[in-house]
A = this chain, B = another copy of it.
Amino acid sequence: MVTIKEIAKLVNLSPTTVSNVIHGHKGKVSAENYKKISSALKDTNYISNMGARLLGHHGSKIIAVILNFDRRAEVNIVSDPFYDQIIGFLEEEIRKQGYFMMLYTSGSVTESLRLATAWDIEGLIILGSLPDDAKKFIQQQQRPLAFIDTYVDESYMNDDFINVGLQDFQGGYDITKYLISLGHRKIAFFADGDHLIGVDEKRFLGFKQALSETGISFQRKDFFALDYRADKRHAFLREISRNQLKQYTALVFTSDFLAVDAINVFYDNGIKVPRDFSITGFDHNIFSEQIRPKLTTIGQNVNQKAVLAVDYLVERIQSKHVGRKINILLNTELIVQGSTAKPSEVLP
């Protein structure tokens, strides 16, 4: 663990000069000394001590990725396929930008802010935050914030944060319109839980918009809430597949995961897709590809989401540009595959 002071002694110069070389301030150091110090740095394998940087508030170079999970779900959120994927992409981009990534899971905003303070975190990327928590973050935290897939209340339009999301409404709308174009009129909607919020809510609104534009009525009974526990969810799907579901020709799910899960339960009970139901997912992740028939779904570019969030955050960190609100909703793409077809004639 060689220090700046030691290097300074080694080359008979001051720590300041060494520091200047480390930071590439060529103008402040003679070419000769620059060279000498540079090679000393290499030879001794100098590694800067982040503690000293931290202590002097010279920038921790840490970006914290916060999984602000809904504690209702006792499952470890990082096992959710979407979060998995994006964490990988985030890590990659954070590293490329020269920062370090601290990963933290917490349902508590206060907890997360403690982390940020203790480590003098330079910026936060927040995943899975519901509007209420997002509000708390924005109000209580002055550090740069980037949300991913969070719909923040309009009243915060003037606040300083970044959000990178998806045109969930449009996605929900498009996929529903597609089903309608195939001839479906009896369509049910499935989501993860009863209380729709955030991306699921927008997808649902897009869905309803498509129906109402076409003059198709939608009632509460056409909405089905799925349990996050596999056994309960499966039992429920089995149950309704024998009863209520008979009246539908198409089923819209808020995620590929739920759609695939349902397809398999149906399969086990002799129900075939798309023969008996057309089924759609959302995300276009690996699940939609590793099933037969492949899922008709809404594609999104997860890598792009991660890169944009990190890049805007880093820009914000470096420019100290305050007061700029960035709210990007990326385009979606309808991916038509085998899980959808025209409604079979035998059905009403």
Contact = CB atoms under 8 A, between A and B. Distances in A.
Interface of A: 1, 47-56, 60, 76-79, 81, 83-85, 87-89, 91-92, 95, 100-105, 114-115, 117-120, 260-261, 264, 267-268, 286-287, 289-292
A84 B88 CA distance: 8
Copies in the complex: 2
Contact of A76 (B78, B92, B101): B92
A66 to B, nearest CB: 11
A91 B269 CA distance: 38
* Those 3 A-B pairs whose CB atoms lie nearest each other, nearest first: A78-B88, A51-B54, A84-B84
Given A54-B54, A290-B264, A89 B76 contact: yes
Contacts of A117: 1, 47
Contact of A77 (B78, B81, B88): B88
A47 B114 contact: yes
Contacts of A291: 264, 290-291
A55 B47 contact: no
B105 A95 contact: yes
B78 A84 contact: yes
A29 to B, nearest CB: 23
A291 B289 CA distance: 11
Q: Which of A102, A104, A119 has the most CB of B within 10 A?
A: A119
Nearest to A94: B103
Contacts of A268: 292
Contacts of A47: 114, 117-118
